[in-house]
């Protein structure tokens, strides 16, 4: 089979694959990745995101599935839960330094792929 032209996005995927091989361990799944993206995007915009806000994203899965995925992200150290000061039943979800470092690595891969265009 003839190789296809290495477009920037394909190079980006290759760099991400190499990044995964450098950092072995438990990988986050697609749902966890989407949740982490939403959490980090909200944090980058200075918005507070509650666990309940994430669990209501039924297009990503059932409430039980999403709750389990949030627990996995906490256990892997990608997010932390902070109690609401006015209502202890509510928990805000924020990305950790580990998550932000992962986005930094992904950004570096994207920049490298774009430079090599």
Instruction: Kindly list the domain boundaries of the chain, sorted by start residue.
Output: 8-115
Classify residue 83 by its DSSP letter: E
In CATH, the architecture of 8-115 is Orthogonal Bundle (1.10)
Bridge partners of 50, per DSSP, are 92
pLDDT digits (tens, 9 = 90+) for 89-111: 999 999 999 999 988 988 888 88
pTM for the model stands at 0.80
The partner residues of 47 in beta bridges, in order of sequence, read none
Q: Helix, strand or coil for residue 82?
A: strand
Structure tokens that stand for 87 in this block? 């209502």
Percent of the chain with pLDDT over 90: 54
Q: How far apart are CA 32 and CA 19, in angstroms?
A: 18
pLDDT tier for residue 26 given thresholds of 50, 70 and 90: low
């Amino acid at each position: 089979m003839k190789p296809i032209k290495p477009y920037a996005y394909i190079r980006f995927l290759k760099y991400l694959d190499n990044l995964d091989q450098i950092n072995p361990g438990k990988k986050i799944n697609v749902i966890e990745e989407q949740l982490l993206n939403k959490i980090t995007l909200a944090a980058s915009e200075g918005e507070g995101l509650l666990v309940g806000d994430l669990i209501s994203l039924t297009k990503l899965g059932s409430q039980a599935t999403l709750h389990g995925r949030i627990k996995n992200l906490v256990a892997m150290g990608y997010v932390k839960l902070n109690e609401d000061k006015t209502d202890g039943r509510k928990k805000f979800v924020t990305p950790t330094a580990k998550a932000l470092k992962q986005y930094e690595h992904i950004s570096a891969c994207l920049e490298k792929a774009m430079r090599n265009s």
